[in-house]
Structure 1
Amino acid sequence: MWTALVADAMMPAMKWTLIGSLALALALGLGAGGADAQSWPDRPVHIVVPLTAGSATDMMARIVARQLSQQLGQPFIVENKPGAGGTIGTAAVARSRPDGYTLLVQSASYTVTPTTYPNTPYDTQRDLMGVTPLGLLPQALVVAPSRGIDSVQGLVAAAKAKPGTLNYGSAGIGTANQLNAERFRIGAGIDAVHVPFKGTPEVLTEVMAGRLDYFFCPVNVCVPMIREKRLLGLGMGSSRRSAALPDLPTTLELGVPNSDYNFWVGLFMPSGTPRDILGRLYAETAKAIESPDLRQEMAKLGAEPNLIPPEAYNRQLKQEIVDNAALVKAAGIPIGGAQ
């Protein structure tokens, strides 16, 4: 379901031109009183990132904020409000005035939170709305060369030969690493032990030392290590290959069904924000993403542009919440444990 949804949403987005974006902005503004969009923004805009400074989500927010500031002539100020699996900062935006001056940049964990944090002081689908994803941050399935496993098929065979003896690492319970690994584990029909850590650097240390069997690693982190042969890439965990590792097939291509997990970073605003402001923000964000300078900055993060118009994006979010609820249940991920 998820692969079909992503492909369905991405095909029109790939054809979406700047003219189309501006047309959407005009269409969204019909009947909404275009004066708001014409004057917006006339003061600084605040972008809340509910994760720590220096994270991939935070860095994505900052490069987009810089470009929007240049285009619109007003500061777009990024503020980090981490804590409680991202729910503290997200709640702050959900409670803010819906006037286009408080935005949220959040990762794909946005669609996991309704299941793992069921008692948040906001309703993901009622209180917030998606503007567009900004980019995909794919993950690669990696092992240490010393493990003697050189293919996805070899990893699956090793796991099936001794059920429950292989282990995989993640940057924490409920993180993208674990979700990707669980989709892979379930799709491959194997049994493996999850070992959570506080962050990616700690996991990589254990993988390269051979104490962890495998890891779904953010591509921007693992590409240098793969090139230096400190890690061996077995497959991409996303639904399509990465431009950073174009010769590395996806785990789907390698025969593991439903093993893809698309980790994205997206832009949100409070529900009730005037539709003409939503339309203008989407159009300006589309223009920003098309900027060669911004694309170069995204490439350094291993990110790939992934613009989707608001209506299609919100349909995707709704389905992804359902899909992730099923995944959390199937994987036995603790409620209240996402990081």
Structure 2
Amino acid sequence: MNLPVRHRVATLSRRRFLAMAAALGAAPKASAANDFPSRAIRILVGFSAGSPSDLLARGVAEKMQNHLGQPVVVENKPGAGGIIAARSLLSAPADGYTLLVVSAAHAAAPVVTRNLGFDPVRDLAGITRIANVPSLLVVSPALGVKSLAELLGRMREAPGKLNFSSPGKGSANHFAGEYMLAEAGVEAIHIPYRGVPEAVSAVMAGDSQFSFVPIPNALPLIASGKLLALATSTGERSKVAPDLPTVAEAGISGYRFDPWFGLLASAGVPGEARATLIAAAVKSLSSPDLASRFGTAGAEISALPGRRFDEYIEKEIAKFRYIATRAKIEPT
């Protein structure tokens, strides 16, 4: 059907107008995505200041802001083994401006918490694993034991009389302790505290007899004689404490517990924003300066970006379920 020239021109003009309007309407969205980030980014930490999560978050934040061109600030929201901070992340807009540093306790949360309120796999998305941080089994020198064998002997002599501290139920330190007890066939009472510094102070004060403590927190206190290290939780000896045996070497064959830390975002963060965050985080972790700083504290950088980190967390959840079953840890 042939339209009059005037009608054809009007039709083409209208189409051209609608196309332009659609392009202009989409422009702000595209611009917003391309301009990410255009303001400060927050990194939430579920543990107190001075904890390994806090120390790692601040190191990564310092480097990331150089790559992103915007401030990256750390905000501590301690409590419930990191669950409070995770819920805060999920209550914020899923725009990439709020992130979360987690410990291995993140994978333990669905195992020990009956009504968690979120799914660690479905609701959160990996930016990158940051580092592995060995935990050391420590006691107060006043306890009078100098080896893991002697500590286990004390527990066998008085089942359930000794206790151990951790920065909260479901924390990696809690699971490291329960796993050791289960594998050794001994009993001790778990006492949860608000954070790592508080759990360490309990051992030094004699309120708790032992604890698994992240190596950055433990080393200065060991050097000053306030704590005595008996073993390291990891499968291999720590590079900064090579003379210290692993728990397996010290007498509990097969024991291995490798605590890790990572950076997450909400699963709803747009793909381009997430890709920008992943690139900035991985570049930050490749910094020799950061590797040196973390290494001095006993943390070993172990980047695992994006989907690979998501898959790793799924495997870690399965591992914690096994430990919980073995140690008879019931969800509450």
Could you say which residue in structure 1 is the equivalent of 2:53? 57
After superposition, the Cα gap between the structure-2 partners of 1:96 and 1:211, relative to the gap in structure 1 and judged at 3 Å, is closer
Could you say which residue in structure 2 is the equivalent of 1:218? 214
Q: Does 1:123 align with 2:119?
A: yes
CA distance in 2, matches of 1:71, 1:299: 22
Query: Of residues 97, 104, 107 in structure 2, which corresponds to 1:108?
Result: 104
Q: Does 1:316 align with 2:312?
A: yes
Contact kept in structure 2, 1:36 and 1:277, CA below 8 Å = no
Could you say which residue in structure 1 is the equivalent of 2:18? none
Q: Which has the larger radius of gyration?
A: 2
Q: Does 1:174 align with 2:170?
A: yes
Could you say which residue in structure 2 is the equivalent of 1:307? 303
Contact kept in structure 1, 2:48 and 2:195, CA below 8 Å = no
Could you say which residue in structure 2 is the equivalent of 1:331? 327
CA distance in 1, matches of 2:32, 2:253: 47
Contact kept in structure 1, 2:183 and 2:252, CA below 8 Å = yes
Could you say which residue in structure 1 is the equivalent of 2:262? 266
Could you say which residue in structure 2 is the equivalent of 1:247? 243
Q: Does 1:90 align with 2:78?
A: no
Could you say which residue in structure 2 is the equivalent of 1:42? 38
Taking structure 2 as the reference length, the TM-score comes to 0.79
Taking structure 1 as the reference length, the TM-score comes to 0.77
CA distance in 1, matches of 2:259, 2:121: 19
Per the alignment, in what secondary structure is the counterpart of residue 43 of structure 1?
coil
Range moving further from structure 2, 211-220 or 78-87: 78-87
Could you say which residue in structure 1 is the equivalent of 2:134? 138
After superposition, the Cα gap between the structure-2 partners of 1:104 and 1:191, relative to the gap in structure 1 and judged at 3 Å, is same
Structure 1 residue 69, shift from structure 2 partner? 0.7
- The amino acid that maps onto 1:325 is R
Could you say which residue in structure 2 is the equivalent of 1:11? none
Structure 1 residue 68, shift from structure 2 partner? 0.8
Could you say which residue in structure 1 is the equivalent of 2:281? 285
Could you say which residue in structure 2 is the equivalent of 1:19? none
> 1:23-51: CA deviations, max 9, x gaps?
xxxxxxxxxxx998764323332322233
CA distance in 2, matches of 1:219, 1:296: 15
Query: Of residues 223, 240, 246 in structure 2, which corresponds to 1:227?
Result: 223
Could you say which residue in structure 1 is the equivalent of 2:190? 194
Could you say which residue in structure 2 is the equivalent of 1:183? 179
Contact kept in structure 2, 1:183 and 1:258, CA below 8 Å = no
After superposition, the Cα gap between the structure-2 partners of 1:328 and 1:294, relative to the gap in structure 1 and judged at 3 Å, is same
Could you say which residue in structure 2 is the equivalent of 1:4? none
Percent identity at matched positions?
36
Q: Quote the RMSD (CA, aligned, Å).
A: 3.0
CA distance in 1, matches of 2:110, 2:136: 26
Range moving further from structure 2, 297-306 or 283-292: 297-306
Structure 1 residue 140, shift from structure 2 partner? 0.6
Contact kept in structure 2, 1:184 and 1:260, CA below 8 Å = no
Could you say which residue in structure 1 is the equivalent of 2:75? 79
Per the alignment, in what secondary structure is the counterpart of residue 226 of structure 1?
helix
Contact kept in structure 2, 1:137 and 1:302, CA below 8 Å = yes
Range moving further from structure 2, 233-242 or 274-283: 274-283
Structure 1 residue 206, shift from structure 2 partner? 4.9
> 1:161-195: CA deviations, max 9, x gaps?
44334432333333332211111111222222333
Contact kept in structure 1, 2:81 and 2:167, CA below 8 Å = no
Structure 1 residue 253, shift from structure 2 partner? 3.1
CA distance in 2, matches of 1:241, 1:35: 50
Number of equivalenced pairs: 304
Structure 1, unpaired ranges of 5+: 1-33
CA distance in 2, matches of 1:334, 1:224: 35
CA distance in 2, matches of 1:94, 1:244: 37
